[in-house]
Amino acid sequence: MTALRTLPRDGLASVVVFLVALPLCMGIAIASGMPPAKGLITGIIGGLVIGFLSGSPLQVSGPAAGLAVLVFELVNSHGMAALGPVLLLAGLIQLLAGLLRLGGWFRVTAPAVVSGMLAGIGILIVLSQLHVMVDASPLASGLDNLLAFPGALIDTLSLANGSAALAAGAIGLGTIACMWLWDRHRPKRLRFLPGALIGVSLATLISSWLALPIKRVELPANLGDAIDWIGPQDLASLANPELLVAALAMAFIASAETLLSAAAVDRMHSGPRSKFNRELSAQGVGNMLCGALGALPMTGVIVRSSANVQAGACSRASTILHGLWLLALVSLLPSVLQSIPIASLGGVLVYTGFKLVDPRAMRNLRQYGRVPPLIYIATALCIVVTDLLTGVLTGFALTLLKLLWSASRLRIKLMPIESGHAELHLRGAATFLRVPQLSATLADIEPGTHLRICMDRLSYIDHACIELLEDWERSARLQGGSLTMGRRTALKQRVEGRRRRVLAQTA
């Protein structure tokens, strides 16, 4: 009864999500170096299959811009046939991780690394889709796309050689302008209509009316013709270590994006909370199915999910229905999709890429110190200069270095109180890395001094520093001095307990 009562609201929400997903599914496929039909297949599976299995009922799954860069690199290096086996293995990793209840661990990612990863992906998407907007083919890397774009722009502006490219560029820029204006001035009554749909629809109508000689979406008459089933001979390619690494990277990035999106969706509504392990397993099943069909990888995507929540969705029915609408349109009206200019879809991805480079993320990170923004910038630049996996690993390495630095930072201040008495103030973490610094300070204390150690701002002390203090105390006692601890805390009690045991053994 509850499902029937909410069906009208879920039905309306499903139409909104369908309108958002349609251009993105095809655009992300093109950005991935794959036929548009592959993205539509993934979107359909994300609705019809993952909609039933999902642990986050209001989250929408489908092809994601975050994986477009990884897929493009994979297809460019190893061919389209390598994607199916890699995706099948990545999905299996996700399924097992969910069954082993490891969902929470995929969310253990520093915000600076996640924001930097999204910014790097956004920059790469913009650099590649600028070429698509002028009906050119993107190159293998971000730097290559950046260096080649001035030449492509000159060819476009040369009317003798680039009239078609100039028309395509105008269509792409018009799409971006339309999306920007719609996002800022849309009427309240039409707020459910996505700017991407408005931009692509107008670009399609204008380009068809003017009969512009530009590239358009190519779809098979039968969607089944776009399915490339993988066989046993394809699985043998997984013996290549590079493909194994690609599968691990795809599983991790897809899982992290999915679970971060699910957590964000939970903050948007007051309904049932996400079950992260179930969601992770569902994504694994979906990616295994996409791999078997030779489609694009999927994740939970925040753009479609937020549109679903804002449109008033109440249950998983909206996600399932949006997949049904995609299947119906592709099956019954493929000619409508075949009239869409590719440059317009490129414009949609350029606009999406710019939004991934979110300046607010940098401002939010600044409140936690100077290091997080540097990690953000380093991760993004490394992704652009090298590749996605190297950039993410660089971000993780920098985060670990920051953690080690913070965990080993110790401030030592020796304060003489009166003749024969002094205080030693310790602040931070006293680890073996700071033994030389602490030892040098203790060596400067006059023999026979009664030393009081203030530990109220000490967060941690390891056995190396404890033994150093014990050695100094034994020497001080022989010379008429002493060592006492300030403020009775659990940390002090632990240090003193160990000290008493050592002294009892040496007595």
Q: Is residue 159 very low, low, confident or very high in pLDDT (cuts 50, 70, 90)?
A: low
Residue given tokens 């204008």 in the structure block:
206
My answer on whether 414 and 375 are in the same domain is no
What is the distance between the terminal CA atoms of the chain, rounded to a whole angstrom? 79
Q: pLDDT (tens digit, 9 = 90+) per residue, 223-281?
A: 888 888 988 888 888 889 999 999 999 998 899 889 888 888 888 888 888 899 999 99
My answer on whether 387 and 325 are in the same domain is yes
pLDDT at 54: 93
pLDDT at 90: 96
DSSP assignment of 407-419: HH-EEEEEEEEET
My answer on whether 361 and 458 are in the same domain is no
Q: pLDDT (tens digit, 9 = 90+) per residue, 85-119?
A: 999 999 999 999 999 998 877 666 778 888 888 88
My answer on whether 108 and 53 are in the same domain is yes
Residue given tokens 């920098």 in the structure block:
398
Distance between CA atoms of residues 10 and 412, nearest Å: 62
Q: How many CB atoms within 10 Å of residue 226?
A: 19
Taking residues 1-17, report their average pLDDT: 77
DSSP assignment of 216-259: B----SSGGGG-----HHHHGGGGSHHHHHHHHHHHHHHHHHHH
pLDDT at 495: 59
Paired strand residues for 61: 300
pLDDT at 486: 65
At residue 101, the 3 state secondary structure works out as coil
My answer on whether 392 and 483 are in the same domain is no
Q: pLDDT (tens digit, 9 = 90+) per residue, 172-213?
A: 999 999 999 998 888 877 777 788 888 999 999 999 999 888
My answer on whether 356 and 466 are in the same domain is no
Distance between CA atoms of residues 369 and 372, nearest Å: 7
At residue 331, the 3 state secondary structure works out as helix
pLDDT at 1: 40
DSSP assignment of 346-408: HHHHHHHHHHHS-HHHHHHHHTT-SHHHHHHHHHHHHHHHS-HHHHHHHHHHHHHHHHHHHHH
Q: pLDDT (tens digit, 9 = 90+) per residue, 266-291?
A: 888 888 888 999 999 999 999 999 99
Q: What would the two tokens of residue 426 be?
A: 């310790």
The pTM of this model reads 0.78
All residues at 6 or more sequence positions from 452 whose CB lies less than 8 Å from its CB, including other chains = 417, 421, 422, 423, 424, 483, 484, 485, 486
My answer on whether 300 and 426 are in the same domain is no
My answer on whether 322 and 436 are in the same domain is no
Q: How many CB atoms within 10 Å of residue 92?
A: 17
The CA-CA-CA angle for residues 116, 119, 124, to 5°, reads 125
Residue type, 312: G
Q: pLDDT (tens digit, 9 = 90+) per residue, 49-74?
A: 999 999 999 999 999 887 888 899 89
My answer on whether 331 and 416 are in the same domain is no
Query: Do the Cβ atoms of 344 and 41 come closer than 8 Å?
Result: no
My answer on whether 478 and 380 are in the same domain is no
Taking residues 393-414, report their average pLDDT: 86
pLDDT at 490 exceeding the cut of 70: no
Q: What would the two tokens of residue 507 be?
A: 């007595």
pLDDT at 219: 87
Centroid of chain to Cα 130:
22
My answer on whether 353 and 429 are in the same domain is no
Last residue of a domain, one of 401, 420, 449: 401
The mean pLDDT value of the chain amounts to 86
pLDDT at 359 exceeding the cut of 70: yes
Distance between CA atoms of residues 441 and 213, nearest Å: 78
Select the more confidently predicted residue: 417 or 44.
Answer: 44
Closest of 28, 329, 345, 335 to residue 214, by C-alpha = 345
Select the more confidently predicted residue: 487 or 299.
Answer: 299
My answer on whether 395 and 420 are in the same domain is no
What sign does the CA torsion over 164, 166, 170, 173 have? positive
Taking residues 128-140, report their average pLDDT: 84
**SS3 annotation, 2-69:** HHHHHHHHHHHHHHHHHHHHHHHHHHHHHHCCCCHHHHHHHHHHHHHCHHHHCCCCCCEEECCHHHHH
- The domain total for the chain is 2
Range of the domain at 19: 2-401
Looking up residue 478, the CATH number of its domain turns out to be 3.30.750.24
Distance between CA atoms of residues 378 and 392, nearest Å: 10
Closest of 128, 73, 60, 47 to residue 290, by C-alpha = 47
Q: What percent of the chain has pLDDT over 90?
A: 33
Distance between CA atoms of residues 66 and 49, nearest Å: 21
Q: Largest Cα–Cα distance of the chain, in whole Å?
A: 99
